[in-house]
Amino acid sequence: MVKLSVIVPFFNVQTYAPDTLKSLRANARQDFEFILVDDCSTDETPEILDRAARDLPGAVVVRHEQNGGLATARNTGIDAARGEYLTFLDGDDWLAPGYYEQLLASIEDLGCDFVRTDHVQCTARARSVHRVPHGRRGVVMRPRDVILPADRSTSVDYAYAWAGMYHRRLVDDGVLHFRHGLRTAEDRPWIWRLHRQAESFAVVGLTGVFYRRGVASSLTQIGDVRQLDFIRAFDQVIDETSEDPDADRLLPKAVRTYCAIISHHLGSIERFEPPVARKLRSMSAAALKRMPQDVLQDALDSMDIQRASRLRRLRRRPVGAEVAA
């Protein structure tokens, strides 16, 4: 029986894929499988993955006929996975040797639906540890109990799918899949749904994932229209949270986070191509009008002056019918 399925999407990462695959070899075990999803790469990544399929125990290469983005590639891996547990890695990141065995031992010992872990962020030669924003470690809790408070960073703001491990029952319950086609912010509705619908989780103090920042091909570095998918992602968070039995308690957190992300993008709008910048403003104005207005007003009142003023100006902006829809 396969104990762990590791899902790794790759797209045009020929520079980094060898390090990623080397770290997977240092985590291989007879009952682990590695599902390597080639998301229609156009560089030498497919050849690198072909070699890995021969050299990496448990490796399976799955190929997309057209590029679908990270969310779709992860879903492909989830659908192919046979393991009792699942986890994720991105094709330009890497792992400490033996990390997955430690993480698997932790989730089996705790017996919960999923665990979340710290990680090391790597920007050029700089290294910094980023911790799950929840202080209690090794204690099983209800995930929805750690969504709040609204005005502080909490576990739903730590939206890294690869920073954890997940029991197969989350797949069977329809919780673990991502929204098909999202090009950015795909982790946001996913992490909210995970915390609202899963029964149990824990935070463990392992730092075996190394997250590479500043990769030129990463969407976080590219100011094109795909970045605007964060609006679709957060609309989903708002819509699904509105249907939750605890909507009155949880919506202020969802709305405030959405507002903070809009303000962040507006604050660095110069990195977007001019047509995309115009679309960002119009789509963001429409998004503010779709939010529950009483909750939005409270969120703006709770924010610092700079962000609140920027969003209030945007809120007053007229919105065309085609954007508002």
Digitized pLDDT (tens) for each residue of the chain, 325 residues in all: 999 999 999 999 999 999 999 999 999 999 999 999 999 999 999 999 999 989 999 999 999 999 999 999 999 999 999 999 999 999 999 999 999 999 999 999 999 999 999 999 999 899 999 999 988 999 999 999 999 999 999 999 999 999 999 999 999 999 999 999 898 999 999 999 999 999 999 999 999 999 999 765 544 445 678 899 999 999 999 999 999 999 999 999 999 999 999 999 999 999 999 999 999 999 999 999 999 999 999 999 999 999 999 999 999 988 764 454 3
Do 151 and 239 fall within a single domain? no
Inter-axis angle of helices 293-302 and 247-267, nearest 10 = 60
Do 242 and 210 fall within a single domain? no
Within 10 A of 158 (CB to CB), how many other CB atoms are there? 21
Do 290 and 157 fall within a single domain? no
Do 128 and 268 fall within a single domain? no
CATH number at residue 38: 3.90.550.10
pLDDT at 322: 47
| Helical segments of the chain, H only | 17-25, 45-55, 70-80, 99-110, 169-172, 187-197, 229-242, 247-267, 274-290, 293-302, 305-315, 321-324
Do 107 and 216 fall within a single domain? yes
Provide DSSP, 251-272: HHHHHHHHHHHHHHHHHTGGGS
Q: Give the residue numbers spanning the domain of 103.
A: 4-220
Do 216 and 230 fall within a single domain? no
Give how many domains the chain has, as a whole number: 2
Q: Which of 220, 241, 267 is the last residue of a domain?
A: 220
pLDDT at 267: 93
Residue 146 CA to chain centroid, in angstroms? 18
Q: Round to whole Å and give the CA distance between 271 and 34.
A: 36
Do 214 and 253 fall within a single domain? no
Q: Round to whole Å and give the CA distance between 197 and 233.
A: 18
Asked if residue 202 lies in contact with residue 223, where contact means CB atoms within 8 angstroms, the answer is no
pLDDT at 232: 96
pLDDT at 223: 60
Q: Which of 178, 195, 220 is the last residue of a domain?
A: 220
310, two tokens: 């920027």
Q: Which of 167, 201, 220 is the last residue of a domain?
A: 220
Do 102 and 152 fall within a single domain? yes
Do 43 and 98 fall within a single domain? yes
- The amino acid present at 145, given as its one-letter code, is D
Do 143 and 277 fall within a single domain? no
pLDDT at 135: 82
Do 256 and 270 fall within a single domain? yes
Do 181 and 313 fall within a single domain? no
